[in-house]
Amino acid sequence: MNQVLPDRSSLKNYGITKTFKAGDEIVSEDAPVQSIPIVLRGSLKVMQSDDEFREMVMYYLQPGETCVMSFLAALYNDTSKVKAVAEEETEVVFIPIGKMRELMSKDPKWLNYVFQIYHKRFEELLDVVNAIAFKKMDERLLQFLEKKAEVSGSRDIKITHEQLGQELSTAREVISRLLKQMENEGLVELGRNRITLTSRS
Amino acid sequence: MNQVLPDRSSLKNYGITKTFKAGDEIVSEDAPVQSIPIVLRGSLKVMQSDDEFREMVMYYLQPGETCVMSFLAALYNDTSKVKAVAEEETEVVFIPIGKMRELMSKDPKWLNYVFQIYHKRFEELLDVVNAIAFKKMDERLLQFLEKKAEVSGSRDIKITHEQLGQELSTAREVISRLLKQMENEGLVELGRNRITLTSRS
DNA sequence: ATTCCAATGTGATAAATGTCACTGAGTTTA
DNA sequence: TAAACTCAGTGACATTTATCACATTGGAAT
């Protein structure tokens, strides 16, 4: 899927490259968007938030992927409805929307790239809807940890219960209790700031 | 927004037109998709379902709009992850994906059309996530009824509590109780198979 | 090593929603 | 008109999640 991006090596020529540290906010909610971020290295999480308190992670962006929300917002001079935060040290190139239009019209590969990313994101959004609509928190938590593991490439996840609560939009205590239960079932091992998914999970 | 669709009058020449009755299923879950439905008249609701029991309405399609999920599925030879059901008597033209590709590459207006629909659908999906993640059922119910009213063009909604429960993925009793409460607050008037939104709501 | 603090563990309780059981009202059908 | 059926109203109770209060623990800082 990543290989889809046409001409990845020359990406940096099309826009400005910036490097972010874990926790940095790359795109803010309600901010107007004029250029499209494409992840070169690292990963981002894209989320929606309530009244600035609760939030909800929608999906992750990995190298070669772009934020479709930004893309559409830029295309229609709209503001971003989501925010994006770096999960780890992350390098992002921002391509101006005009350049993007040009690339898409000149090279069908770019168009295809955009459609593929759409496809992926839509499916992920559907999964999120599915999870919060139909599943209970224990299942959602496990699914979420698996996703984190996948994105970070390690089954050893560095995160606090508080943060997990934020990203799943629930209370820390709920996370703590569920994790404890999962530990008893042998699905995870717990440590301070660390959750390790066992092979059984 | 609807006017965006390029050349609406000749749409019928590009594919097969079919008419559906209220409740008919236009696109099924897990069915392979080879042609893109565009609504000519009436309206569809697009939803996701659990294990065939519970379901969840994601958004409505009105005349001139197409199902982006079908579009992406067709583009990548995938199956539909959602199902679409006619809300009322609805006329739909099915355009083969090949024809669609041709139209998009020949006429940038078509491409623009597709992107605009994407934009709209993404925002609606975000609204759904926002609602189920952050809002309580009373607020969701009211919001849902307003949407229904908007789509059908009437503040007099013909539906049973059972159906509402299905579409919001909750129990009938919950709907009944909340509606009763809303009636006491003067937000709605209730009748058998009918809910009327008052001016105050 | 002692202190301090963030992170975690856990009980008690509340709130929202889900489930069950049943009643009754309005419609349709025989 | 009388049955039969669908839809709606409602009490009682279960489950899930949220909230509050406070104890404990592991590491970092001094």
Q: What is the pLDDT along chain A (201 residues), one digit of tens a residue?
A: 555 777 778 899 999 999 999 999 999 988 999 999 999 999 999 999 987 679 999 999 999 999 988 898 998 889 999 999 999 999 999 999 999 999 998 998 999 999 899 889 999 999 999 999 999 999 999 999 999 999 999 999 999 999 999 999 999 999 999 999 999 999 999 999 999 999 766
In this structure, are strands B55-61 and B188-191 parallel, antiparallel, or unpaired? unpaired
A4 vs B contacts (CB less than 8 Å):
none
Distance A193 CA to D30 C1' (A): 23
Sheet with A90-96, edge to edge strand ranges: A16-20, A90-96, A35-41
Chain C positions within 7 A of any protein Cβ atom are 6-12, 16-21, 26-27
Whole-angstrom CA distances from A174 to A7, A49, A170, A179, B198 are 45, 19, 7, 8, 40
**What is the Cα–Cα distance from B49 to A142, expressed in whole angstroms?**
21
Residue with tokens 């820390």: A172
**What is the Cα–Cα distance from A79 to A59, expressed in whole angstroms?**
19
How high is the pLDDT of residue A201? 65
How high is the pLDDT of residue A5? 77
pLDDT tens by residue, A62-96: 999 999 888 989 988 899 999 999 999 999 999 99
pLDDT tens by residue, A54-63: 999 999 999 9
B160 touches strand D (CB under 7 A): yes
pLDDT tens by residue, A136-146: 999 999 999 99
Report the residue from A78, A82, A133 with minimal CB separation from B132.
A133
* Ranges of chain B whose pLDDT falls below 50: none
The rounded Cα B57 to chain-centroid distance in angstroms is 7
How high is the pLDDT of residue A200? 67
B81 neighbors B31 (Cβ within 8 angstroms) = no
Residue with tokens 């099915």: B94
How high is the pLDDT of residue B143? 97
Q: Which of A51, A82, A115 to mutate to test binding with chain B, by most B CBs within 10 Å of its CB?
A: A115
How high is the pLDDT of residue B201? 64
Q: Which of B30, B47, B55, B119 to mutate to test binding with chain A, by most A CBs within 10 Å of its CB?
A: B119
